[in-house]
Amino acid sequence: MSVGRYELIALLILVVPSVSLAECLAVVCNGDSTELRITINRQDPPPEPGTELVVIGAPLGSCEPPALLTPEGIPFINPEPFVGFETYVVTIATPFDGAATRYQLQRRYLDGSTGPPSSCGDPLPVDTEGCSEEWHVGRGRVTGILLPPEVPSPRLDYTFCTDACWIELPLVIATNAIIDDVTIGDFVDIYGTMFESGMPGESRIDVSRIIEIDGPGDCGVVASDGHTWGSLKAQFK
């Protein structure tokens, strides 16, 4: 699919606390356009001259290689004597028909090779965004169910369809009602939102609903409600 051209629309100088931050990414969908918010810590040594930042992405639930979403590259500008944090806001045409997508920031060097950004800690150089209130974040088989008072909150154990490279994160289920109709052995689609953190134990899937499907179904990318999709694993590891 065409992901369209992008524009550099703003440069913001931010004053933020001193944290472990280098090159990090936040993504916001605005319908037909999507903002890529790239924060750079100028307190770190600059990379070699000519280095650019690019953003790649893939719809959740796909094992296809990520697409390059900013083919022209974003110049890695390092003004002097300024030392601090800058956020570049880049707008692109929303990729993959608004499907939930995992985005990743990379460095691209003069010889065309790419590499990871410097360590961010938390926040991360990756972000997940979808253009709907809930996304299709998983498909798999239920292997266990625990309900209060045995546990503080409802818990669902599962095995995701590995053929589709789903991201297997802890499920956070707010109420028993979300899993009332689910039984062990069911194949299900899981909907909600996904959050990845650099802090141990904070990455999660916030589950909004779980729907039983007939058998394992297709473990590849599947449409739902017109534009939500499944989840991606290992492409950015």
CATH of the domain at 203: 2.40.50
Q: Which of 129, 151, 166 is the endpoint of a domain?
A: 129
Res. 235 pLDDT band, cuts 50 70 90: very low
Cβ atoms of 57 and 45 closer than 8 Å: no
Tokens of residue 6, six digits: 């992008």
**Are the C-beta atoms of 3 and 90 separated by less than 8 Å?**
no
- Does a structural domain hold residue 225? no
Please indicate, yes or no, if residue 81 is contained in any of the structural domains.
yes
The reply to whether 150 falls in a domain is yes
Residues 121 and 182 in one domain: no
One domain for residues 72 and 139: no
Q: How confident is the model over 149-188, as pLDDT tens digits?
A: 998 999 999 888 777 787 888 999 999 999 999 999 888 9
Tell me the per-residue pLDDT of 87-105, one tens digit each, with 9 for 90 and over.
889 999 999 999 999 999 9
pLDDT of the residue at 87: 84
Per the structure, the count of domains in the chain is 2
**Residue 15: which domain range?**
6-129
Which range is least confidently modeled, 125-129, 170-174, 196-200? Answer: 196-200
